[in-house]
Structure formats: structure tokens, C-alpha cells
Amino acid sequence: MSLILDTLHLSHNGEAHLDGLSASFARGSLTTVLGRTLAGKTTLMRAIAGLQRIDSGTMERDGQAFGTLPAWQRDVAMVYQQFINYPHLNVFDNIAFPLRKRRLPEVDVRQRVESVLSMVGLSNFAGRKPSALSGGQQQRVALARALVRKADILLLDEPLVNLDYKLREQLREEFRGLLTSQSDGTVIYNTTEPAEAMMLGDRIIVMHQGRILQTGTPAEVFERPANTLVAGIVNDPPMTILSGRLDHGRIVFDGGVELAASAHLKNLPHGLYRFGIRATEIEPSEGRGIPGRVTFSEVSGSETFVHVETPFGEAVMQLEGVHQVTDGSQIGLSLAPERLFAFAADGEGALLRAPGQGEN
Amino acid sequence: MLSTLKYIAVVLWSAFVVAPLLWALTTSFKTANGVTGGPTYLPYIGFEPSLDGWRSLFGGAGGIDIVRPYMDSLIVTSSASLISIVLGTLAAYGLSRFEYRAGFVKNTDIIFFFISQRIMPPIVLAIPFFLMLQFLGLLDTKIGLILVYVALLLPIAVWIMVDFFDGVPRQIDEMAMLDGCTPFEAFWRIVLPNSMPGILVASMFCVIFGWNDFFFAFTLTFTDTQLLPVAVVSLNSSVTPWWSLSASALVSVAPLILIAIFVERLLSRGTLAGAIR
């Protein structure tokens, strides 16, 4: 293991930003940290970078504690959400800055900067000031400056969040290639977008309120979310969670709506549960199923998201294509029982059964 | 119609601004007869031009030796402005980037304390300054006046620069530190070059104040040190030599006109974009 964080605590004005966080990151790996806004992702990066002092806990790199080193001695590179470059320097000098600061011979500086410029596709823009570039190009400069150093730890704090949708998709592809070329270092990538986390990371850490909720491969986190919070964070739109009772092979929602429990839920003890289902697994049904009222719907490209208020909780349905759904109209929801997740009814709702799990 | 009115307004305003300078320019080439012979503006036609007024600035009859007060003004203004900008920039950076707390006193209180120095009318400050300089043996010295000007200019410099640094993203400093700079190197190599517009504006304010100040120069210096505004006013005796007065007034505003042209060029090139909000 290259980077080990142990029981990090960091509070500001009595509010815990890191709450006993422990994690380890392997050398040569790309870990995405997924969490909603204010989950503590940026604070975690700033703590690793030495830009924010932790209250307690230890940070080790290859067995050496580095938590007390100042930021300029940590060998950590970072790319921010905002396109942060040095406005008075041109693209070449921006990227060369950290190398010149380390007094590398100018020949090496030139060779490394030109190589990284070509990697990020900005060879023709070396003489321009950052202000003369587009947002995507500015962020490429910031990434190039972080990459050129071959830093031991590379931190990317939602680097694509301020770009438009198309550019974000394009750069996401490019970033994946560029970041995996950092084979020696540890790369940590913050994001609020589940799709981005799944696509980029070898491993995902799900954070919420300064704590790690789950760590695992993208498939593990997506298929087996540790609890209802994780299920909400790793699904976009969030997974619908409905309260109900399992009783003699049937799922009974308050108000008398019943579903036959599928095989993976049948051997769970009778009692109260929270049942989760993804937006793509819910369909409208004519006069049957779970009754609800449409609170609002939104058309996003080729999909329509319908938000429905039910007696058992709010549900989100994702329909293929463009559908006209009137706000306030009554609707019945049909759930695929075999796609239901069962979570504990108490606490954070630990996962008890996922689709395909526990079947004979 | 509207644009015609605009042009008329601009022409009238320009005349209002330029007329005193033109009046001083023509008067500086007049003699006693030319001044008392009614309003005349064109040399050789309205009056016989003479260089007496300009000669009098260099020890000629009825004038003053302008070189010494000019040099005194130059030394005092430039030194005070330089010290104020250097100290003010450093203080402003600290106030913008770090949190200070001493009991209930916080950064905003410190900034207000700086600004509050300028709330008091100068006359209130004159006697304490006089007594302090007397105690230090610095009355009628350039160093004494420089110290007083620094005390007066520092709040302006801090005020302008805090506002400016607050507009420079803090992440730029952090980025520089992650790139290997100590906090001071981050300030020196990255933040400062990006703050030149703010420094220029603050310097301009300091120089204009220092160069134009009459009140403190008049109350805290007498014979050994004499600044330009005091020297020019001292020409105004029972019989005012208007030609000398005009020539010396023109000489004393010349540096400010040069600064105005310089700043105007920077403004038109966009160098100060974002510096004045």
C-alpha cells in the first residue's frame, strides 16, 4: 500500500468534515471518491495535500508519516474544480513552473513539457495565456501541470464539474487514458457523478458526512450498496426506497398493496424492511401496482424522469424516450420484484439482500 | 441631437478643466505689465512674452529656487509611497489570506482600524504628529515627513490591496505551494505578479496624495525641508508674482499629468482591468 490514512478527524466550527476516516490507496491505482456535495471529499483532498490541518489521525506514505510536512514538501499535485492556472504565465511556462521550481535542467523541462503538452493536445497553444483558452483547454493545462511533475499523489477534485456536458464526456475519456499512464503514483478522483466514478475508478470510495460508507470495485458498490445511503448516492437518479413488510412470501406495503416476493427475498425472516429499486426497474401500470401522484417530471435527452409521491415514500421512474406526464396526475407503479434490494428497516438500512443474491 | 448635446457637454467640461492650465501657461510667460493689463491670452498679440517667470524658478529675481523643494517633494513622496506600498501590500496579503484573532478582534476589525485612521480630519492629527516628531527630533526633516506620510498612506494601500487580493483566487496560492513554493514564494512569484494592477492603482493614490499634500508639509517642516506645495504658496506675498507662481504651479502639476497619461494608457490597454471595482 502506498497511502494509508488512519482515523482522520477534522472539524470546523463544531461541524465534523472528516469523522474518523480511514482508507488505504495502492500505488498505481485510480480511486474515485464518490459522494454528494458537502460529503467531505474536498476536505479529504486538502488534508492529504497539506492545505488543511487535521485535528487528529495519521497519514502514511510507504510507511513514512507525512501528515506533519508542509504542503510544499509533500509531493502532491492537485487539479481543482475551478480552472486554476497562473494567469501571468503562458501555457508552456505554467506547465514548466513546478519543474523549474525543482531546478530541473532547462533541456529536461522543455522535453517533459512538450511531451505532456502533446498528451493533452495543446502543443499548438504553448505560447498562449490561459485566459485566451476555452474552459476545457484551461482544465487541460491544469491537468498537464499536475501530470508533468509525476507527483507521488495526484488529486483531482471534480475537475470536470464546471464544463459543459459534451466536453465533460470527451474529457472523461481522455482523463481515463492520461491518469492510468501515471502508473507509479496514487491517483484519487473526486466526483458527485456515479457514472463518472464507475467509468474512471479501479476502486470507489463512497463518502457521506465525512465518513466512508463503502469501499469496493465499481461493480461491488453498484450491485451491493452497503446501505440505503450508498444506494442513494451510487444511483442517478437515486434508488427509490419504500418501506414495507415481508410476510409469508409476500411484500406488503401499508395500504394493502402486495407483491409476490421473488426467490432472493423469500428466505429473509418476516418483518419490516426497506425495499430499494432502481429508477429503470419501475414502470407505469394501468390501475394496478403502487398508487402514487406525479410531483414533477423532467425530460433529459432520450429519457424521462418521473417523480412520484407514494404512501410509502418518494419514487423515481426512468422511462426510455420522451413522455408527456402531467404533474399532479395519479399513476400506478409496477415494480419488478426480482430487482428489489432489501435493506434493514432500522439505522442506516444495511443491505440484507440484493437482486440475484441468496438464491438457491 | 442627444450626441450633439453630449459633445457640447464634453467640450464645456474640457474647457473647465483645461482653462486654468492654459491660463497658468500664458501667465507664466507674462511680465508685471502683461498681468495687470487686462485679460490677454495670445503671446505677441495680447502681451509681450517673457521668460522671467521661468527664470525666477531657478533663483531669478522675485522667485524661488524650485530645484530644492522639487527634490524634497520627490524624495519624500517616492519614499513614503514606496514604503507604504511595500508594507501595505504585505499587510493586505496577510489580512486577505490568514485569519488573525486577538480576543474579539478579527481581520475585519483590523481592516476597519486601518481605514479609521483616515476618518479623522487632518487637523486632529497635526498636533500629535508635531509633538511626536519634536520628541524624536525629526521636525523639519524629510525622514519625519516620510514617517507621517507612511502613517497616512498605509491605510489607503492596505485598503486597496486587501480588496484586490480578495479578488485573486486563494487556490492560486495553494497551487503554487503544491508546486513547491513556500507561502512567501507563492506570494512573491505568483500572487504579486498577478497583483500589479492593484499595486499600480494603490501607488497612484499614494503618489497623488504625497505630492499634493500641503497641510502636513506646512505644519511639520519649516526651513531645512520644504516641499513643493509650500514653496509655491510661499510666493504669495504682499505683491504676488503671478508669472512665477504660474510657472511653479505648472512645474508642480507636471508629474501628476504624466502619471495621468501613463495610467490612462494602461487603462486603455486593459492592464488595469478588474483593478478598480
Q: Is A255 left (phi over 0), alpha (psi -120 to 50) or beta?
A: left
Interface with chain A: mutation pick from B101, B175, B188, B191, highest number of A CBs within 10 Å:
B175
Q: How many structural domains comprise chain B?
A: 1
CA distances from A307 to A231, A292, A334, A340, B79 (A): 17, 10, 14, 18, 69
Using 70 as the pLDDT threshold, list the residues of chain A that sit under it.
1, 182-183, 254-255, 287-288, 359-360
- Which helix (H) or strand (E) segment holds residue A19: the answer is strand A15-25
Q: Domain holding B238: CATH number?
A: 1.10.3720.10
How do residues B43-83 score in pLDDT, each as one tens digit?
777 788 888 888 888 876 666 778 889 999 999 999 999 99
CA distance B196 to chain A (A): 10
Hey, is the C-beta of B193 within 8 angstroms of any chain A C-beta? yes
Quick check: B171 contacting A, CB < 8 Å? yes
Sequence-distant (6+) residues with CB within 8 A of A279 are A235, A237, A239, A240, A305, A316, A317, A318
Residues with Cβ within 8 Å of residue B244, at least 6 apart in sequence = B52, B53, B56, B57, B62, B63, B64, B235
Judging by DSSP bridges, how do beta strands A30-34 and A186-191 pair with one another? parallel
Torsion of CA B163, B168, B170, B173, to 10 degrees: -120
Per-position DSSP letters for A176-213, written without gaps between them: HHHHHT-TTSEEEEEES-HHHHHHH-SEEEEEETTEEE
Does B123 fall in a domain?
Answer: yes
Q: Residue B38 domain-assigned?
A: no
Q: Residues near B185 by Cβ (< 8 Å), separated by ≥ 6?
A: B176
CB A63 within 8 A of CB A24: no
Domain membership of residue B92 (yes or no) is yes
Chain A residues with at least one Cβ partner in B under 8 Å: 49, 51, 70-72, 74, 76-78, 80, 82, 84, 86-88, 97-98, 101-102, 145, 149
Of B172, B178, B180, the CB nearest to A86: B172
B chain contacts of residue A97, beta-carbon cutoff 8 Å: 179
Q: Within a domain: residue B52?
A: no
In a domain, B16, yes or no: no
Rg of chain A on CA atoms, in Å: 24
Closest CA to A268 of A168, A179, A186, A341: A341
- Residue B101 with chain A: CB contacts under 8 Å: none
Q: Do A51 and B181 touch (CB under 8 A)?
A: no
Q: What is the DSSP string of A141-159?
A: HHHHHHHHTT-SEEEEEST
DSSP-derived secondary structure letter, A261: P
Give the position of cell 491517483. Answer: A187
Q: How far is B176 from chain A (nearest CA, A)?
A: 8
**Quick check: A72 and B190 CB within 8 A?**
no
Structural domain contains residue B2: no
Q: Report residue B251 as a C-alpha cell.
A: 512645474
Tell me whether residue B59 is in a domain: no
pTM for this entry: 0.83
Contact flag B175-A87 (C-beta cutoff 8 Å): no
The verdict on whether omega for the bond into residue B121 sits within 30 degrees of 0, i.e. cis, is no
For residue A60, what are the β-bridge partners? A4, A65
B175/A78 Cβ within 8 A: yes
How many Cβ contacts (< 8 angstroms) between chains A and B?
A: 49
3-state secondary structure of A219: helix
Q: Which residues contact B10 (CB under 8 A, 6 or more apart)?
A: none
- Distances, alpha carbon B253 to alpha carbons A306, B79, B208, in Å: 72, 19, 10
d(CA B231, CA B89): 32
By C-alpha distance, the chain A residue nearest B184 is A72
Q: Determine whether the interchain pair B179/A84 forms a contact, defined as Cβ–Cβ distance below 8 Å.
A: no
Residue B207 C-alpha, separation from nearest chain A C-alpha, in angstroms: 26
C-alpha count within 13 angstroms, C-beta hemisphere, residue A80? 18
CA distance A179 to A156: 10
Residues of B in contact with A70 (CB under 8 A): 177, 182
Which residues of chain B, if any, have pLDDT below 50?
Answer: 272-277
Is B227 contained in some domain? yes
Span B113-133, pLDDT tens digits = 888 877 888 888 899 999 999
Structural domain of B230: 67-275
**What was the pLDDT predicted at B5?**
92
